[in-house]
A and B are shown apart, each in its own frame.
Chain A
Amino acid sequence: MIDLGRRDFLKLIGVAGASATFGCSSESARTIIPYVFPAEEIIPGEANWFATTCRECPAGCGLLAKNRDSRVIKIEGNPLHPVNAGRVCPRGQSALHGLYNPDRWRGPAKRSGDGQFAAISWQDAEKVLSDTVQRLSKAGKGDQIAFMTGLLTGTHKDLLEYWLNQAGASRHLMYEALSYEPLRAANRTVFGRDAIPAYRIDKADFLVSFGAGFLETWLSNVHYAAQFAKFRNAGGDARNAFVYIGPRLSMTAANADLWIPVEPGKEYLVALGMLRLIVHRELCPIPYDRLAALRRIVEAFPLDQVMAATGVEPAVMERLAARFAAARNPLALAEGSGCSGANATQAAVAANLLCSIKDRLYETHDFSMHAALGDSAPAGAIMDLTRRMDRGEIELLLVHEVNPVFTLPASWNFRRSLEKVPMVVSFSSCLDETTAMAHLVLPAHTPLESWGDYSPATGIVGLIQPVMGNLFDTRDFGDILISSGKRMSGQEKFPWVNFYQLLRENWAQRWQAGNSQQSFDQFWLQALQTGGSWDPEKTRGSGFSIQIPGDFSFPPPEAPAAQDQEFHFTAYPSIQFYDGRMANRPWIQELPDPMTQTTWGGWIEIHPQTADRLKIEKGDLLELRSPFGALRAPALPIYTVPPRTLAMPLGQGHTHYGRYASGLPANPMELFPADAAPPASGMAGRSFRVTVKKTGETFAIAHTDGSFFQHDRQIARQISYDGLQQAAASGHKPAIDYPLPMGYEADKDFYPAHTHKDYRWAMVVDLDRCIGCGACVIACYAENNVAVVGREQVINGREMSWIRVQRYFDRNKPVARWLVMMCQHCDAAPCESVCPIFAPQHSVEGLNNQVYNRCFGTRFCSQNDPYKVRRFNWFTFTRPYPLNIQLNPDVTVRQKGVMEKCSFCVQRIVEAKIEARKKGRKVMDGDFTTACAQTCPTDALMFGSLLDPDSRVSQLINHPRAYQVLRHLNTKPAVIYLKRITQEV
């Protein structure tokens, strides 16, 4: 009790009264800001959608950005775009966190002597840049200028090379850490094409992947995920089979019918073993022109040696070979990325050789479309640049949105070489490890604020347009080049007012070439609205010659070494982090890894048996040492790796990449060797081993899974393909408790049935289509203002995600599967019956409402919720500016003490009903969908009304694969799952 005297009390009251009178009079603190001049076509409160192109990775998906009151609040796929057809992956969804990242540069900066950055004006910054370039070009030192960018095409690339040309320079390196150079090398070797084609997984009927993570990061993951879904559900009697051969049970591997673990770098041996079986046993007719050459190649690989070296059982190898040979259009893919393991080129060549046994491989390898990734700089060129920098032969290095200091193997000593460059200029929008070493920073807009174009593959040109005004004092990359070019070589060499004008001029040429009937303005407007220019009816499948190489040498099979102390090591790009550029996005950090369910920080995957043997426990900080470097990261015992292999994700371990990425363990690039010798010209070609040491310290792993297993609870179910055929033939009806009045049974129901008005919203989750990617999770975070809680709170089990993709391993075999779990909107919801104040209640359209303003946080509902989908706000989670701008104004931002959960995107339901009513009708199936279902690359989620007998959900609810999770509790969930289909290969 405060000891307050009477006089003090009265004084206090006086002050309080006065402040009540003058401080907070009736004047509200809220203001409404009008336009001075109204913007055309903008209706306040209504969203505008702008088409643009995703530049988060080289795949170049088409995007639609939802702009509400001049702020972009959501990213969705562009349904017209040929690459992604309306879907985006978690990385694309999180482009918003690149735009709204609080660690972006606010304006140009210059590094002073003490290593700190100080703000300078654009004028001064451009002057320093153009003076340096002018000085070098006048002195004839143009070859001492180098420009490193990410993969560029079209107008940006042309302008940049013109700019360099004007400076008397030509060294432009488009650096991609995942450049898939081994794929190109292999295609050159076997198919005579130095390019990466468009693979057609959907045209294949048997698929073998030699480490290719085509559902995660490989080339164009959304595109291939959609193709994979088609491949799986090709129709007809048979179900197409997919086999994954690689060192780790990756997300892609877990989607295979069979995962064959091999040591990293030995994938090619399995391919050659299959090839040998096919050739020697003549399992299928092989085109005559190739037969002899193939025979010669497999000569050196006797089956017994191959099997001894890889550990693959003879019966498995024989089955694989037989299936491959018997298929009409078999397809073998290789990862082609050196960081995953050695012999990437060999694996890619071997995969191509396997494909070459068939005549019709032009159906699955479309060389009429080249992936732009094929134009990225070869590792040799990067190595050459590093050496030149080290020798002091580079005076000026310019970097734009690339981070070689982080993504190159530490043993390349890129950092040391960079220190020897007298002038480093960065155009990156965020501080990163490379930019931290720059002398001058001229921050460019993020792609969502920029103009440009990007062509991910031949014949597809996506247009990039600003989807909102710029946030900070940054400039369009093209504009920086033009205005510095004007300073450098005069107005007449750079006659364009801005980059936009140049872009339009370039597109005018495209328009002229197209001979179209439209005027240019119409053409331009159409390109802006559709997101670019492409021809869907383009003829595909040009033929190409196959030359089996006589001189390509595969390393001979070697038996596995029997040392106990050393481990094989593989580092893999993950769907969240790609090459590490995504690590500063809080959504991406918070998204549980598909396989390990881990957030916030890297880990070392180690087989539980091995961990037991070495007395390593989860979270023990290990020191990994290779001949080339060392790192420290926490151990995660998990079944994704064989006992003698360790695995780590790429992309963590940043030191200068903003508040969300920095300081988390660890960057596996510390361990890789420095060789880039052709033909293994992918990075880190040599195989190596690592040793493990416990440091005695711990770093807790922030994982969201409770267990590896289902403990016989039958949560994520599966059915064999044969079993399904039988069930379908016998007219089997699934046991479903309908979340409808017809589901009421007097003898077992305590509560009366609910009647629904007009709609009964429900969802169907096809577990056979779900690939575990987590795009739905990020889409939900973006749509529903779900809070990011950070590592500490995830460790406390307080993550807020409304939808999660649960991973379960099988007890007996190395198989994993996922279950997408969100609020089940039960008809007899256990949460509703325990709330003392009816904060959760059943709506007339079947939704389980959670009324935030009524909730006072008893958490009874969460306690009684068997699905554990309710999330409690332990704190008022805030978002640092400008992340708060992303918040969806249609959804309440929840605060401390309030329970929340999936709403089936009720704001979209409300909006769809208004739109339908304006047209004088009810909402029809397909009018709208939820954020998660909208972005799902494989269409695993379907949303609709059960009162509409023709809706997709009504059709699927009686499918032989349908089931409800924890049905025995009689909750009558409105989320119906379709069992995953398994088959033996």
Chain B
Amino acid sequence: MSERSKTQTFLRIRWGRWLAASSLLIGALLYLYYLYPQQGTGPRQPIYFSHRVHAGVKQINCRFCHPFVDRSRNAGIPAVEKCFFCHEYIIPQHPQIVKEREHYESNTPVPWVQVYYVPDYVKFNHQPHILWGRLDCTNCHGPVQNMDRLQPVEFQMGFCIDCHQQKNAQIDCWLACHH
């Protein structure tokens, strides 16, 4: 074998290894990003609350638990007390309800994990979207009535702008969102 072809073989092996390593890496990352179990399920909550059961099966109106959606920036998260409007009577012995009751009785709020959020430099306000945009909650939050654990929505700017343009809403940077 000539000196030249030796070098070529060496290079091939070297490049081959790099190729293998990087494709393995990319494969692993793709797997972790898209296929790893429960990627599409959304964060695990401290209490296993199911929107599918409450909003889907039981058909409870969103505003029963999120009452401030047309009155404030925040839709509001239900007080612990509110769970026991029903669960005083409905499956009070369920382990998750028992856990919730511990919070209730020890006066400690449940640290719900936030699923939907926008960056700090976006000043989102629910009010106009409900009052004048006439949007349904699911327009932005997805079909929550079908989800046990809520899946996050990536609110990229295009998501907002498309709708704002269609509905002829405010598209000025500051006056709309970024102040």
Contacts and interface: CB of A to CB of B under 8 A. Distances in A.
Dominant SS at the B interface? loop
Interface in A884-924: 890-893, 903, 906-907, 909-910, 914, 917-918
A26 B131 contact: no
A849 B178 CA distance: 9
Interface string B14-53: 0001000100010011001000101101111000000000
B172 interface: yes
A306 B47 CA distance: 86
Contact of A849 (B74, B113, B174): B174
A34 B120 CA distance: 20
A845 B175 contact: yes
Nearest to A893: B120
Interface string A29-40: 011111111100
A interface bracket (residues with beta carbon within 8 Å of B): 35 or more
B113 A28 contact: yes
Interface string B87-123: 0000000000000000110011111111101011101
B175 A34 contact: no
Contacts of B41: 26
A37 B79 contact: yes
Interface string B144-179: 000000001000000000000000000011110011
B162 to A, nearest CB: 18
A28 B43 CA distance: 7
B62 to A, nearest CB: 16
B79 A38 contact: yes
Given A854-B178, A917-B131, 15 more contacts: A17-B28, A21-B32, A28-B117, A32-B114, A34-B79, A36-B109, A37-B80, A38-B81, A44-B76, A45-B73, A46-B68, A844-B175, A851-B178, A852-B178, A907-B123
A516 interface: no
Nearest to B104: A36
A853 B80 CA distance: 36
Interface in A838-887: 841, 843-845, 847, 849-854
A33 B179 contact: no
Given A26-B42, A34-B78, A849 B172 contact: yes
B8 interface: no
Contact of A910 (B17, B39, B82, B179): B179
Interface of A: 6, 10, 13, 17, 20-21, 26-28, 30-38, 43-46, 841, 843-845, 847, 849-854, 890-893, 903, 906-907, 909-910, 914, 917-918
Contacts of A907: 123, 179
Interface of B: 17, 21, 25, 28-29, 32, 36, 38-39, 41-44, 68, 71-74, 76-82, 103-104, 107-115, 117, 119-121, 123, 125, 127-128, 131-132, 152, 172-175, 178-179
B73 A46 contact: yes
Contact of B111 (A33, A38, A906): A33
B66 to A, nearest CB: 10
9 contacts: A27-B44, A35-B80, A44-B74, A45-B76, A46-B68, A843-B172, A844-B172, A850-B174, A851-B178
A853 B121 CA distance: 7
Given A27-B44, A31-B113, A36 B79 contact: yes
Leading 3 A-B pairs by shortest Cβ distance: A45-B73, A45-B74, A30-B114
Contacts of B131: 917-918
Given A36-B81, A892-B179, A27 B113 contact: yes
Contacts of B107: 36
Contacts of B132: 917
Contacts of B73: 45-46
A906 B174 contact: yes
A43 B72 contact: yes
A269 to B, nearest CB: 57
Contacts of A906: 174-175, 179
A26 B76 contact: no
A318 B69 CA distance: 71
Nearest to A844: B172
Nearest to B29: A17
A43 B76 contact: yes
Contacts of A841: 173
Contact of B127 (A27, A845, A914): A914
A892 B125 contact: no
A910 B127 CA distance: 12
A891 B123 CA distance: 8
Contacts of B172: 843-845, 849
A37 B81 contact: yes
B21 to A, nearest CB: 7
A921 to B, nearest CB: 14
Contacts of B121: 852-853, 892
B72 to A, nearest CB: 4
B10 to A, nearest CB: 15
A606 B36 CA distance: 73
Contacts of A849: 172-174, 178
B31 to A, nearest CB: 10
Most buried by A among B74, B103, B131, B152: B74
Contacts of A914: 125, 127-128
Given A26-B152, A891-B179, A34 B173 contact: no
A911 B73 CA distance: 10
A910 B179 CA distance: 10
Nearest to B77: A34
Contact of A903 (B108, B114, B174): B174
Contacts of B32: 17, 20-21
Contacts of B178: 849, 851-854, 892
Nearest to A26: B43
Given A45-B72, A843-B172, A34 B80 contact: yes
Nearest to B111: A31
A853 B120 CA distance: 10
Counting chain B CB atoms within 10 Å of each CB, the highest count among A6, A892, A907 belongs to A892
B72 A44 contact: yes
Nearest to B38: A26
Contacts of A38: 79, 81-82
